[in-house]
Amino acid sequence: MTNGSQTFGIGIPDNWTEYDLSGDSLAERRAELLRQTPDKQTREVVNQSFRNARRIMDGARRRGAVYAAGTTTMYEDGLLMAGLLIFSVTPPPGEDFSAQGLAKQFSATGDRRGEGTTRTFTTETLPGAGPVGRLVGIEESEVAEGVSYKLVVMHTVVPVPGSKRVLIITCFSPNIPLADQLYDLFDALTSTFAFGEEAPVAVGAAR
């Protein structure tokens, strides 16, 4: 490590895929699922889900995302889609530098609708990173005028040692009925995050 940079890593399940932030890997996965899905209604669900995922990915790239991973799996009772993004952020002058303030400003899509958002802030401790702030709940965003969708979200704000920057780990899924199970999954994923030699997989550097 040089010039104050910090390598970091996070462990993801074997059935998850690391995404390039251009969204090309999402397109490949969409095509694969459509080949496996003859039912017209299910194909429409797949197409809509991937359009939303691409929109999230595009917005994440513009807002400083440095890592992306996720899963899109078709089960007998429907499509499970979940993702994880890591953002590297420097709080602007005059803004709230606290973990709570940063988490409340953040959203999975970048354009959260306030009336459809219910989130709760807590503090946690990650084994490989120390004390962090966490915001969990439901976010609602507009896909187009008059058309909205909801996401289960977990944002975890991780201070970067020796830096003014923070990393924000955002886990999300449109599978609202599975919220409780998803929160457990997101907590387990985020708990593997670590800096330096403790990292399970070196996926990036925070400067």
CA dihedral 51, 57, 60, 61 (to 10 degrees): -130
pLDDT band at 84 (very low <50, low <70, confident <90, very high): very high
Dmax (CA) of the chain? 54
Q: Which of 118, 75, 79, 125 is nearest to 99 (CA)?
A: 125
Q: Is the pLDDT score of 155 beyond 90?
A: yes
* Contact between residue 139 and residue 109 where contact means Cβ atoms under 8 Å apart: yes
The pLDDT > 70 percentage for the chain reads 67
What b/e readout covers 159-175, taking b as 16+ CB neighbours within 10 angstroms?
bbeeeebbbbbbbbbbb
Q: Is residue 150 part of a domain?
A: yes
Total count of domains within the chain: 1
Q: Is residue 164 part of a domain?
A: yes
The more confident residue out of 207 and 104 is 104
* Contact between residue 48 and residue 21 where contact means Cβ atoms under 8 Å apart: no
E strand spans, 103-175: 118-126, 130-144, 147-159, 166-173
Q: Is residue 129 part of a domain?
A: yes
* Contact between residue 142 and residue 164 where contact means Cβ atoms under 8 Å apart: no
Q: Is residue 34 part of a domain?
A: yes
Q: If DSSP codes are grouped into helix, strand and coil, which group holds residue 164?
A: coil
Dihedral sign for Cα atoms in the order 30, 33, 181, 115 = positive
Cα 114 from chain centroid (whole Å): 19
Q: Is residue 22 part of a domain?
A: yes
> Containing domain of residue 39, as a range?
18-194
pLDDT digits (tens, 9 = 90+) for 1-48: 222 357 889 998 888 888 765 556 667 767 776 777 777 776 777 666
Q: Is residue 205 part of a domain?
A: no
pLDDT digits (tens, 9 = 90+) for 187-206: 999 999 998 765 565 454 45
Q: Which of 64, 52, 82 is nearest to 21 (CA)?
A: 64
Q: Is the pLDDT score of 115 beyond 70?
A: no
Q: Is residue 7 part of a domain?
A: no
Tell me the C-alpha distance between 72 and 33, whole Å: 8
Residue 62 maps to which CATH number? 3.40.1000
How many Cβ atoms from other residues are within 10 Å of residue 189's Cβ? Answer: 21
Q: Is residue 4 part of a domain?
A: no
Q: Which of 62, 97, 82 is nearest to 153 (CA)?
A: 82
